[in-house]
Amino acid sequence: MVIEEFMYRVARRPLSKLIALLPAAEPPPTFEELERNVSRACLPVTLRQNASGSRIRALLQEPAGTCAFDIEVNLTELLPRCLELARLRGGNFDAALASQFFVCVSCKLGRDVLGSLHAQLRLLAALAPEAVAMLDLNAFHARTGDSLRDAAAASVPPAPTSFFSVHSVFDDHRKAWLHTHGLQRMGCIELDVVGVRRRDAAALGELINNVARFFLDCGVPPPNTGFHAGNDLALVWLPWEAGLQHVDASPGGMADRDADHGGERGILFAPSKESPDRLEPPRRYVPMIEADPIFYVSPAETERMERLARERLPSFLALQSRYAKNGKWDFHVKLGFPTDDNADGYTCGGAEHLWFDVHEATAKSVDGTLLNRPYRISKLRQGERGTFDLKLLTDWAIESPRGRYTPESVLQLERGEANVSARPLLH
């Protein structure tokens, strides 16, 4: 149980700012055109404009209450140049560079940060239905217009990792500095790992992702207080100024700490094996992370993943039916089983989530082979094949010649196979 009064509280949460880049040939939308767009998207939104026309306010009616947003339409040349448009590829990159106008939706996130961010995405997609790209000013990254429309079309919010980025900075001596952008708006400190090898960056980036999810779900523990991100993954964090006293950080030292890389930012450390009071970079966890780590996932995040996996299960089933006999494709499902010490059910969280290689699947069941070694379920064995009820489904994944796809990204895979674009959210 999280006791909130003992959790670290972020002092100042910045506004969340998401931007839609409009097609090059598209003029800036008028207030009336914005009203028509949200009406066609069937969003319960009221737009209000001040007397001078310089400010637009949007009020979105949600089940939990009314969400307020500020809307701006302006020239793209006024945007900061530090955004990572390089994440876009080919025609998406060219379209983003050619854009002349943008629509920005900004807000202060509510207590349900994922719900607030999803509402912000849905409003942005409705206001700019033909957007060629979305820029996240807090996370310093860009996504395609199709990705914006995919996330807005779902009834389930995207993963927390969709709303922050992990940047990697390398020096000439194969040292790495990993750090996040985008977490502070969600009430979490930004996270750093310094003093590690370049070759360990991918594994430690995964560690940062999971620590961030843990902090977002359970709260940020006080600095220099031990916590576990997963099985045998003991960690502490220190404010970056104090953390730099414990490690030779280059890159990531004082010379690199400008306004965007300071503030409420913590450096992750592992207690030393020789002396728990001595802290060191968490590089000793790299082999464990690269093998088969068990990270802690909160019940709330498990439920979110399950809901999205079920919502987009028809896409998984259609692709599995089409490519089941193609050796270049693999289809996996994650099923949650009650553990031996909680055999009557797992309402208290007593579930172990296991991956299965799928041989055949229907809307109700799956024929699969267990890929993991169970830790707390004696009736299952790694390599065992059987038919299992999809009521146990919590996640799925597809390995294809185009890469790995999940419920978050499967619509992109389907479009690639069909060579089409996502439709605007118009009814």
Q: What is the mean pLDDT of residues 409-417?
A: 94
pLDDT given at position 210: 96
Q: What does the alpha-carbon distance between residue 289 and residue 283 come to, in Å, rounded to a whole number?
A: 10
Enter the pTM of the model: 0.91
Q: Do 174 and 275 belong together in one domain?
A: yes
Whether residues 154 and 170 fall in one domain: no
Task: Indicate whether 140 and 177 sit together in one domain.
Answer: no
The band of 345, judged by pLDDT with boundaries at 50, 70 and 90, is very low
- 360 and 388 both lie in a single domain: yes
One-character DSSP codes across 60-111 = EEETTEEEEEEEEEEEGGGS-TTSBGGGS-HHHHHHHHH--EEEEEEE---S
Q: Are residues 100 and 203 in the same domain?
A: no
The answer to the question of residue 381 being in a domain is yes
Task: Give the mean model confidence (pLDDT) for residues 96-123.
Answer: 96
Q: Which residues contact 74 (CB under 8 A, 6 or more apart)?
A: 28, 101, 102, 104
Looking up residue 361, the CATH number of its domain turns out to be 2.30.30
Q: What pLDDT is stored for residue 324 in this prediction?
A: 95
pLDDT surpasses 80 at 320: yes
- Using one digit for the tens of pLDDT, what is the confidence trace for 350-383? 789 999 999 999 999 999 999 998 988 999 999 9
Same domain, 18 and 68: yes
Domain co-membership, 69 together with 109: yes
Residue-wise pLDDT for 72-96, tens only, equals 999 999 888 756 676 777 788 899 9
Q: What is the pLDDT of residue 3?
A: 45
Shared domain check, 57 and 134: yes
- CA 108, 111, 117, 123 torsion: positive or negative? negative
Whether residue 304 is contained in a domain is answered as no
Long-range CB contacts (< 8 A, 24+ apart) of 420-425?
421/146, 422/145, 422/146, 422/149, 422/150, 422/153, 423/149, 424/125, 424/129, 424/130, 424/149, 425/41, 425/122, 425/125, 425/126, 425/129, 425/149, 425/152, 425/153
Residue 351 lies in a domain: yes
The yes-or-no verdict on residue 172 having pLDDT over 90 is no
Same domain? 145 vs 182 = no
C-alpha–C-alpha distance, residues 41 and 129, integer Å: 9
Average pLDDT, the chain: 92
Q: Answer yes or no: is pLDDT of 346 > 50.
A: no
Number of structural domains found in the chain: 3
Do the domain assignments include residue 36? yes
Output the pLDDT for position 128: 98
Instruction: Residue 28: count other Cβ atoms within 10 Å of its Cβ.
Output: 13
Give mean pLDDT, residues 135-146: 95
Instruction: Answer yes or no: is 90 within a domain.
Output: yes
Q: Are residues 173 and 148 in the same domain?
A: no
pLDDT in tens, 244-291: 999 987 899 999 999 999 999 999 999 998 888 899 999 999 999 998
Identify whether 5 is part of a domain. Answer: no
Q: Is residue 171 part of a domain?
A: yes
Q: What's the whole-number mean pLDDT along residues 405-411?
A: 97
Residue 4 is predicted with a pLDDT of: 53
Q: Which helix (H) or strand (E) holds 130?
A: none
Q: Does residue 296 sit within a domain?
A: no
pLDDT of residue 96: 93
Q: Are the C-beta atoms of residues 376 and 352 closer than 8 Å to each other? A: yes
Residues 134 and 204 in one domain: no
- Quick one: average pLDDT of 120-138? 97
Q: Which of 370, 360, 10, 364 is nearest to 184 (CA)?
A: 10
Query: Can you give the CATH number for the domain in which 45 is found?
Result: 3.30.1400
Write the pLDDT tens digit of every residue in 32-75.
999 999 999 999 999 999 988 889 999 999 888 899 999 999 99
Domain range enclosing 332: 311-418
The token pair at 310 is: 């079920």
30 shares its domain with 154? yes
Structural contact between residues 414 and 342, judged by C-beta atoms closer than 8 angstroms: no
